[in-house]
Amino acid sequence: MRGVVMHAPGDVRVEDREDPRIIEPTDAIIRVEAACVCGSDLWPYRGADKVHDRPMGHEYVGVVEETGDQVRNVGIGDFVVGSFFASDNTCEICRAGYQSRCVHAEPVGAIGTQAQYARIPLADGTLVATPAMPDADLVPGLLAASDVLGTGWFGAVAAEAGPGRTVAVVGDGAVGLLAVLAARRLGAERITIFSRHADRQKLAREFGATDVITARGDEGVAEIKELTGGLGAHSVIEAVGTQESMMQAIRSTRPGGHVGYLGVSHDVRLPGDELFFSAVHLHGGPAPVRRFLPDLIDLVWTRQIDPGKVFDLTLPLEEAAEAYKAMDERRAIKPLLHP
Amino acid sequence: MRGVVMHAPGDVRVEDREDPRIIEPTDAIIRVEAACVCGSDLWPYRGADKVHDRPMGHEYVGVVEETGDQVRNVGIGDFVVGSFFASDNTCEICRAGYQSRCVHAEPVGAIGTQAQYARIPLADGTLVATPAMPDADLVPGLLAASDVLGTGWFGAVAAEAGPGRTVAVVGDGAVGLLAVLAARRLGAERITIFSRHADRQKLAREFGATDVITARGDEGVAEIKELTGGLGAHSVIEAVGTQESMMQAIRSTRPGGHVGYLGVSHDVRLPGDELFFSAVHLHGGPAPVRRFLPDLIDLVWTRQIDPGKVFDLTLPLEEAAEAYKAMDERRAIKPLLHP
């Protein structure tokens, strides 16, 4: 089959890869209908993470082609959505809603779903079937549920966004934008996004943002405080993963407020004294997308939300290198790849 | 009046200080009935914080001697308990339960309650009167409510200790010990304390601890995991404030679990990547003791709890230097001072 391999930072190629096959009786093989490039794929692309001949991709929707002997919940021909950690969905950690830290968790990123086919471990726990084959226009939204929507949703939940609470979002990538959508669906009326890009500001407003702050760092913090009676927002969602973005998120939050952080942390060292006196709640990490997946699929399926709007570039899989480049250069918010 | 002044690390003296007087119409002057030495007083004592001729003390119970014109909630002759941040208890942050970060907060530590008298700012918001003059044996418990009990309680609440949740406490000082008591009162059945000191282990068991781990660091983490099915505790309370104690707390917590941290952070830098993948909730800071004070006073007053047991050394104020020394050398868990 054809699949994306990152040989080194900046060096993305589509190549012949070995066809996946069932290894464990809990596996399923899917034919990938759509995959995409994640903000986290840019860390190795930009050299911030080590990378050497790595198959890429961990977001996916597709059709089940084959199942292991023990797979019961999905069958051949089902259209399925999964998330970036395979999980059994039965262990104590999964039942508490933290499937991304399942005791048997396996990173789908190690398998690489920017490809024609993919082996999905723990298929019963990981995959959720749609009610039927989706109309083509629903596919991007379902694909968004696989990661960026589920991640943004987790951030909004972790930040306890809801009615009567002011929300701020640090980061205007797909996750940040969909965190806006999530906060709105969860009942927040006042949602501010930090963004300097007109196209992203526009989409943020479509998703429910009421205010935009273009300033960053301490200047941005001063502006969100001004918008919130000097106190800071109740709920702040961090969707970048740098020292600057984390500190901006913490400083934008009022004492007793909640920070939901989603960006994969890179070279972040949180100063204990400042965190202590901030008196904020801090929660985040790899989003347990599986917790939200049934509800998110339903919201997309019934066309109550359209998170697929974050895909502003659609390319055939063979042009994956251009997809990475466009995202890296911020010419695209998020590229969708059709195998 | 007589009062404690720390001139330099290790140099604690009882001296003549100016009698406090009403400055703002919201002030009250109290005659201090009992004060004590806090674990946080040891930071400057040991040279970890700068100190130069500083009046000491921020825990106190006493009798109101004089009130400013605008004070309504407490009157002359009332026996009162306050906490270490004066707060108006009416602002939006106070109403959300974060009185230690009140928009008008004033640190009582800057005033110094290890003294015969003290000026308490924002008396209406800060002080809570007991139903009557307390019996002498209740005074230590009421004094504990002023900080160590309220702080331990906040830690247990921040860590979401409760029925069906396993709890671990890092730190066997007075705050850690009272966090055990709080977790027990909040309904936790399984409570582990990390402690190497027989006297503190004994008190921890009296307060409700079911298990003791003497190992620290990664070895201690391995033991708490063994006690919790390999997963880690649901609720971990950190009551030290060092890099080691914070990492021990985070690593002792299961994914999705809650860390409540109370130790005033010193040279702590939390690694973002480890925090991210831990997927824990982190909440703490200067405890909003005022939130809990009415309930805690009631529990002490009705003799349902006896947090005063943490005071294992009682000295006259004039012997404050010995109190600091005993606590520093861990000969005393917590010394009470009678002016």
Q: How much is the mean pLDDT over chain A? A: 97
CB B250 within 8 A of CB B274: yes
Q: What are the strands, taking DSSP E only, across B73-147? A: 79-81, 85-86, 106-107, 117-120, 128-129
Question: Residue type at A96?
Answer: A
- The Cα–Cα gap between A35 and A140 comes to 9
Tokens read off for A52: 């050497």
| pLDDT value for A19 | 98
> Count of A–B CB contacts within 8 Å?
126
* Contact indicator for B176, B168 with CB cutoff of 8 Å: no
- A269/B270 touch (CB, cutoff 8 Å), yes or no: yes
Looking at residue A33, its pLDDT comes to 98
pLDDT at B265 exceeding the cut of 90:
no
Complex ipTM value: 0.96
Place of tokens 């702590």: B268
**Which chain B positions have a beta carbon within 8 Å of A256's beta carbon?**
93, 96-98, 101, 288
Nearest residue of A to residue B238, measured between CA atoms: A276
Beta-carbon separation of B277 and A261 below 8 A: no
Looking at the complex, report in whole angstroms how far the Cα of residue A120 sits from the nearest Cα belonging to chain B: 22
Token reading at B216? 């620290």
> What confidence tens digit (pLDDT) does each residue in A108-133 have?
999 999 999 999 999 999 999 999 99
The three-state secondary structure class of B163 is coil
Task: Return d(Cα B184, Cα B90) in angstroms, integer.
Answer: 31
Cross-strand pairs, A67: A28
Amino acid identity, residue A35?
A
Superfamily of domain A2-147+288-337: Medium-chain alcohol dehydrogenases, catalytic domain (3.90.180.10)
Domain limits, chain A: 2-147+288-337, 150-284
Q: Do you know the residue count of chain A?
A: 339
Rounded CA-CA distance A316/A326 in Å is 14
Task: Categorize the per-residue pLDDT at A222 as very low, low, confident or very high, splitting at 50, 70 and 90.
Answer: very high
Q: Which two tokens stand for residue A29?
A: 């093989």
Whole-number Å distance between alpha carbons of B234 and B164:
9
Q: Kindly state the DSSP code that residue A9 receives in the 8-state scheme.
A: T
Order of all β-strands in the sheet with B2-8: B11-16, B2-8, B54-55
Interchain contact, A281 vs B279, CB within 8 Å: no
Helix (H, G, I), strand (E, B) or coil at A215: coil
Chain B neighbors of A282, CB-CB under 8 A: 275, 281-283
Residues of chain A contacting residue B241, judged by C-beta atoms under 8 Å apart: 272
Beta bridge partners of B253: B233
Residue reference for tokens 């990390």: B194
Enclosing H/E stretch for A158: helix A148-158
Q: What is the pLDDT of residues A255-295, one digit of tens each?
A: 999 999 999 888 999 999 999 999 999 999 999 999 999 99
CB A275 within 8 A of CB A250: yes
Q: What pLDDT, on a 0 to 100 scale, did the predictor assign at position A266?
A: 87
Dihedral sign from CA coordinates of B316, B320, B324, B329: negative
Q: Do B265 and A286 touch (CB under 8 A)?
A: no
- The pLDDT value given to residue B161: 98
Q: Which residues of B touch A232 (CB under 8 A)?
A: none
Band of residue A66 on the pLDDT scale cut at 50, 70, 90: very high
Per-residue pLDDT of B20-78, as tens digits, reads: 999 999 999 999 999 999 999 999 999 999 999 999 999 999 999 999 999 999 999 99
- Mean pLDDT of all residues in B150-155: 98
Q: Residue A142: in which H helix or E strand, if any?
A: helix A139-145
Coil, helix or strand for A209? coil
Q: What pLDDT is attached to residue A183?
A: 98
pLDDT, average across residues A148-161 = 98
Are A279 and B158 in contact, with CB atoms under 8 Å apart? no
Interchain CB distance below 8 Å, A93 and B231: yes
Which pairs count as long-range contacts for A317-323, CB under 8 Å and 24+ apart, including other chains?
Answer: A317/A2, A317/A3, A317/A4, A317/A14, A317/A35, A317/A114, A317/A115, A317/A116, A318/A2, A318/A14, A319/A14, A320/A4, A320/A12, A320/A13, A320/A14, A320/A37, A320/A56, A320/A114, A321/A12, A321/A13, A321/A14, A323/A37
* Of the candidates A109, A133, A119, A2, the residue with the CA atom closest to the CA atom of residue A59: A109
Q: What's the rounded Cα separation, in Å, for the pair B180 and A30?
A: 50
CATH fold, domain B150-284, is Rossmann fold (3.40.50)
Residue pLDDT, tens place only, A5-56: 999 999 999 999 999 999 999 999 999 999 999 999 999 999 999 999 999 9
Which run of H or of E encompasses A205?
Answer: helix A198-207
Looking at residue B8, its pLDDT comes to 96
